[in-house]
């Protein structure tokens, strides 16, 4: 079974790495086919055509995944999930994809680090050393942390004096231990990703 994934990041982006890792754990028998479109404007403009091509190439479903919070936030123009969703739905319709076809939109709130913050034990285990346990407080509602990447930067600086690099560290943190789905489900946007992924192949 082939599952298509479309991201706004580059080929080595953290979103792609983490989503592929988690998807491989949730759907171990599936073949994941990913496409990266580099940034949000490209995603909105091209995701419809790319999704149509993935379906035509045999994917049983396609997930379009993007971060609500842009890499370089504009204080005057806050991102709106509704507007971005409507733009993507329009792009899908223009590509000939109907509402009954298995193409699912997954907006990560606020950004990928929201999912990482959901599992404080993984962060603690990754940053701790034998002589010093780095304790990380539980975040009950990680999607409400306004700047989760900044929170991760602070953890790395405080614990080890390291510079956090999402393309290097995000997937390493989450893959250090077997996934703890209960913790990850603290993120509502992760739950949507999980639910849509598990729905792949059940569409009639």
Report H helices in the chain. Answer: 14-26, 40-56, 81-94, 113-117, 120-127, 148-160, 166-175, 181-184, 188-199
Its domain, for residue 152, covers 114-181
Running DSSP on this structure, what letter comes out for residue 143?
Answer: G
Which residue, 77, 58, 22, is CA-closest to 195? 22
Residues 147 and 52 in one domain: no
How many domains does one find in the chain?
A: 2
Residues 88 and 75 in one domain: yes
Residues 197 and 26: beta-carbon distance below 8 Å: yes
Residues 93 and 125 in one domain: no
| Residue 59 in domain | yes
**Residue 74 confidence class, pLDDT cut points 50, 70, 90:** low
Q: Please write the tens of the pLDDT for every residue from 92-137.
A: 999 999 989 999 999 999 999 999 999 999 999 999 999 999 999 9
Residues 62 and 122 in one domain: no
Residues 100 and 142 in one domain: no
| Residue 160 in domain | yes
Q: Please write the tens of the pLDDT for every residue from 166-189.
A: 999 999 999 999 999 999 999 999
Q: The whole model's pTM is what?
A: 0.94
pLDDT recorded at residue 62 = 98
Residues 106 and 134 in one domain: no
């Amino acid at each position: 079974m082939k599952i298509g994934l479309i991201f706004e990041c580059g080929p080595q982006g953290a979103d792609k790495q983490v989503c592929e890792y988690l998807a491989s754990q949730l759907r171990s028998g599936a073949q994941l086919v990913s496409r990266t479109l580099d940034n949000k404007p490209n995603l909105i403009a091209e995701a419809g055509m790319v999704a149509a091509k993935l379906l035509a190439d045999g994917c049983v479903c396609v997930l379009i995944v993007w971060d609500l919070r842009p890499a370089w936030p504009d204080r005057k123009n806050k991102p709106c999930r509704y507007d971005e969703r409507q733009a993507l739905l329009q792009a899908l319709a223009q590509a000939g994809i109907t509402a009954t076809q298995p193409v699912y939109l997954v907006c990560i709130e606020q950004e990928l680090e929201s999912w990482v913050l959901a599992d404080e034990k993984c962060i603690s285990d990754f940053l701790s050393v034998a002589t010093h346990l780095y304790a990380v407080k539980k975040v009950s509602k990680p999607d409400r942390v306004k700047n989760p990447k900044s929170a991760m930067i602070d953890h790395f600086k405080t614990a080890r004096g390291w510079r956090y690099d999402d393309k290097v560290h995000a997937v390493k943190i989450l893959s250090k231990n077997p996934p703890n789905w209960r913790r990850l489900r603290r993120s509502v946007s992760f739950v949507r990703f999980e639910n849509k992924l598990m729905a792949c192949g059940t569409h009639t």
